Each structure stands twice: as C-alpha cells, then as structure tokens.
Amino acid sequence: MGGILSSLNTSYSGLQAHQLMVDVTGNNISNASDEFYSRQRVIARPEKPIEYQNKSIGRGVDVESVERIHNEFVFSRYSKAAQDNEFYNTDFSALKEASAYFPDVDGVGIYNDLQEYFNAWKDLAKNGKDPAQKQVLAKNAEVLTHNIRDTRSKISMLQQKSSEELETTIKEVNSLGSQIAEINKRLRETEDPKIFKQANELRDRRDELEFHLRELVGGNVFKNNIRMDALNDKKTADFDDGYVLNIANGFNIVDGTIFHPLVLEKQNNAAHLNRVYFRGYDFKDVDITDRLTEGKAGALIGLYNTGYDGTKTGKLQNYLNLLDSFAKGFIEATNSIYAQSAAHQIESEKVEFEDIEALKDTNYNIKNGTIDLIAYNTDGKQIAKKTIAISDITTMKDIVTQINANTDDNHDNNDTNDFDDYFKAYFDNKAKKFYIQAKEPSKGFYVSLKDNGTNFTGALGVNPFFEGNSAQNIRINSKYKKDPTYIRPWLAPINGNFDVANMMQQMQYEKIDFYDNKFEINKMKLSEFYQYLNGKVATDTEKSQETLNTKKSVFEAIKKEHLAISQVSVDEEMVNLIKFQGGYAANAKVITAIDRMIDTLLSIKQ
C-alpha cells in the first residue's frame, strides 16, 4: 500500500483533472457563438490501481485527452447540403434576373412590340399612300428590333457577370485549398494518435475552410481510419490520419499537405468567358469546366457556358440561342416577303461563301425549289418572268448563269423581250454580294423575286426590310429608318397595290422556320416561338425556385442535426461548470484533510 503520500497523490490527480475540466468548460462557453467550434470534453479514466493483499486500491484519475464532440458523417452530409443549397441559390438568383427581361404582361415587352409592328403593316395596307403610316411602321419596327437587341444584350451581360463571378469564386477556392493543405501539415506536426494528442482548434478551422470550399466548388472529402468512440460519446466520429479533397469527379485539389491550384483562362474562346483548368503534379493544365457541376462554381458554369468546342451549353446561352433563332426566323421570313416588292435593282447582304460553293453546303438555310424573277415596266405591268431552279448541287454561279441565259421566258418565240433582255445578274466574289441590275436603268424597269419555298431571298437578305442575322444585330434597313417613305408596300409598282403589306401582316399567322443550325429546324408561328422562349425562361426559373426551397429545407434540417451534436449549449456548460467546481472543491478538501493527517503524524513522531 502506498501510504498517506499515495492518498495525497490520488486527490492531487483529481484536483488537476477537475481544474482542466473547468478550463475546457470555460473555453466552450467562450466560443459558444462560433458555429464551427466543436464543444470539447475531458476524457478521464481511473489510474491503474495498486494490487495489495488481494485488493485493488485506486490511485486517482488519469486524463487521457481533450476530445471535440464531432461526427464526421453528419458534418459531411451538412457540407453536401450546403453545396446543393448554394448551387440552387446562385442558379435561381440569375434566372430570376433573366426572367425579368421577358415580361409577360399586357403592354410591355417584345410580344407587345411584335403586335404593334404587325398592326402598323395592317394600317399601311389600308392606306399605303399615307407617309405618316410608313413613319409609324418604321418607328414600331425600330422599337421592336431595339427591344430584341436590348434583351439579348442584358442576357449577354448577365452571362459575362456570371463568368466574372466565377473568377472571384475560383480565387477564393484556391485560397481556401492552400490553407487546408497548410493545416494538414501542422496537424501532422502537432498530433500524436498514440497518446491521444489532438489539435482540436486546427481541426475545427479545417472543417470551416472545407465547408466553405465545398459550398463554392463542391467535391468530396476522403479520410483514413476515422475513429468511432462510442465509449465516450456515441455521437463522436473523429481523428483521422489522412485527408484528400476531391473535386470535379476525380481531381484532388488537396492531397494531404499538397495543394493543386485551379487556373482560369478566357482568351481561348470567342466569347472570352472563363474556362477552369486543374494544374496537376506535372504542371499540365486539364480543362475541368464541364466537370464542375456542384456548388456555386457549378451553378455559374451551368448558367453561362457557351457550348464552346463541343462543351455543354448553359441556360443563359440557351436563351441567347433561342432569341437569335427567333430574330433570324423573323428576319428571313420578313425579307423573303419583302423581296417580292418590285424595285429598280436587287442587292443581297454580304454572304460568307463564294460563287463556286453549293448552296446546300453552306451554313445558309437554302432549300431545293424554285424562284420566280419578275420584270415590270414603269406602269407596273409584268413584262417578263423567269423561273430559277435550286437543287443540291446548285451554286451562285449556276444561279447567275440561269438568270442570264437567253431563254424564251414569255413563250412567244421573241428573243428580245425576255428577262435577260432587261436585267443582268452577277455575284461579286470580293464584296460577297449578289446583284441583279437593269441593263438600261434610264427606262425605269422594276424587278422582284418570288421565293417558292427555297428561302433563297430570306437567307441572303435580298433587298431586305430588316438587316442582320441574329438578335444581336437585327435592325430596320437604314434606308427606311432615315426616310420611311421609301418603304414599298406593293407587289407591283401600281396605285392601289398593297399586297406586300397584306402579306406582312398575314405572316404573324403563318408557320416559319426557326433554327440555330439548318439541320434542326422548328416550324412555328412567331408568337408561338416567342411564347416558347418566354415559357422556357419562366419554367426554368420556377423549377429552380422549387428545388431551392427543397434544398434549403434539407440544409436547415441537417444543420440542426449537426449543431445538436457539436454546438456548445451554454446551459449545459454552466451545469458542468458547477459540477466540476464541486469536484475541484471536494478534492481540495481531501487534500486539506490529508495535510492535517500528516501534521498529526509528525506531531506523534516528535
């Protein structure tokens, strides 16, 4: 038996243990407001007893460690819920802004402007001689095209804004990742699992950095040998000896103490939007943009990605593509009708091919069929008509050859009154434009082109009413903007002929071609396609909001579960403080009693 000094040591160990418990409890209370601080507990065990005369005599208490109450599995679910919540919060914020550019209310937006535009053609058909009606038409056309361009510009700016926000996000990811790698290095130097030595504050700090990094870029964390400690607390799962943070389904941004940065590049694509690259051990950059599908970064990429080089197309880019298809279909259908209005000459817009290329092999939506070229005299009387055929192998050179061919167009065996006797066609390979001009301009002959389903006149912008080929550059012909009286509502240049104006206002009820590329064409009415675009934006926004509400509920539920395990309860800590204070006082009283016993023993000896 150890004697009276052994008894003193027993109480002294209890005194030290309870002092440490008071210190740890005070630290818990001090950090109660920190969400990422995990409450700590002193893990104490009885000292190994002394065996004496078939008896085991206790020697006090042994403090094994100070552990944090943390469940790695619940925290992992909490981080996953946070990254999902951040993804849809970012997604919904951008879509909500985009939906504001497509107001679906009476008297506002592109749909209303479209109705006003067609009403102006209707009014012009009733009184084609009135210059005021032409001015109204020109004004309404300008308002409509400006609104289309403005809407596209706003979506494009939102796309650019999302790209710039990703730039800030990736910089923050790199900062967080490098800090995690540094903490892993310090943990290796500080901790010792053999003696239960843990750096609790460093682990809490790493959890906080990891939580925010996963909010930004998603990913998963892999740890080795996570220890369950049900003996102390069944909710505890902590103290690993390995760490890997993996993003984009296969790229370790943090591998123990090594950090691999993410690199941004935006000069390698036409839109100058950010692409994300992973820099590995060999310093070679791997494009992981399409692989980033989680967290804030995943949401931003899912919004602005352009489909560059075969990559995924983001939601905002999809809206831009649909708006461009709407504008292109509107332009081509309008110009196809307006080309039938007789003019003194024909001139196309600048094209992107040469005269030896087959029209079907170009990017222009030109189909097989025929075109009627009609010549009129100054009285508006038809004097010649020539039909041009377009097939799979027809080139512009073939078109010009057919127009200029000496054929008996009027079927009267007279070779001096056919179309080629009045007009000549040619294609300028340098200017990349198609022309039909009068051989004798002073005689005032007119020419018009009636397209029989080929879309030749609409695709090439022959004598266009609208210029441009997308929502980015659609505008009324500058000639008519400057002087609306030049607008031609007639089919043939005679008084009382307002057939073109009638066909224009009737176009709103006809199905026309809408396409992003000519191999995927949708035939719809103008109003139907615009409502489809409008509905697409509204549906995506509503769906994102509903999902966000669900993810937010899940996030809040898991957050409560996590905090119930790790968060400090001040009331509970105050109870513990009283308990530990009492234990400390009791051990101090035992030491006082033993001190008196020692005094008594010394006095007996004397």
Q: What angle do CA 480, 485, 491 make, to 5 degrees?
A: 90
Residue 42 · residue 21 · CB < 8 Å: yes
Nearest C-alpha neighbor of 336 from the set 452, 474, 480 = 452
CB atoms within 10 A of CB 466: 24
Compute the distance between CA of residue 333 and CA of residue 324 in angstroms, rounded to an integer: 14
Q: What does pLDDT average to over the chain?
A: 91
**Token pair of 501 as six digits:** 């104006």
What integer pLDDT is reported at residue 107 of this predicted model?
Answer: 66
Query: For 256, which DSSP code?
Result: T
Can you point out the beta strands (E) in 225-377? 227-228, 237-238, 244-247, 251-255, 258-259, 262-265, 275-279, 285-287, 346-347, 369-376
Nearest C-alpha neighbor of 562 from the set 7, 158, 77 = 77
What integer pLDDT is reported at residue 273 of this predicted model?
Answer: 92
What integer pLDDT is reported at residue 45 of this predicted model?
Answer: 87
- Helix (H) / strand (E) element for 486: namely none
Which pLDDT tens digit goes with each residue over 157-172? Answer: 999 999 999 999 999 9
What integer pLDDT is reported at residue 606 of this predicted model?
Answer: 65
Which pLDDT tens digit goes with each residue over 55-65? Answer: 777 788 988 88
Query: For 48, which DSSP code?
Result: P
What integer pLDDT is reported at residue 95 of this predicted model?
Answer: 96
Residue with tokens 């002073």: 442
Which residues contact residue 103 at a Cβ distance below 8 angstroms, ignoring those fewer than 6 apart?
A: 109
Whole-Å CA distances, 131 to 279, 302, 494: 66, 50, 16
**What SS3 state is found at 352?**
coil
**Token pair of 275 as six digits:** 């692409």
Residue with tokens 């005094």: 599
What integer pLDDT is reported at residue 229 of this predicted model?
Answer: 67
Q: 462: exposed, middle or buried (C-beta count within 10 Å: 0-12, 13-18, 19+)?
A: buried
**Token pair of 255 as six digits:** 């591998």
**What SS3 state is found at 452?**
strand
Q: Phi and psi for 276 in degrees, rounded to 5? A: -110, 130
pLDDT < 70: residue spans in the chain: 1-2, 105-107, 195, 228-235, 237, 606
Which pLDDT tens digit goes with each residue over 244-285? Answer: 999 999 999 999 999 999 999 988 777 889 999 999 888 889
Which pLDDT tens digit goes with each residue over 279-335? Answer: 988 888 999 999 999 999 999 999 999 987 778 899 999 999 999 999 999 999 999
Compute the distance between CA of residue 485 and CA of residue 359 in angstroms, rounded to an integer: 35
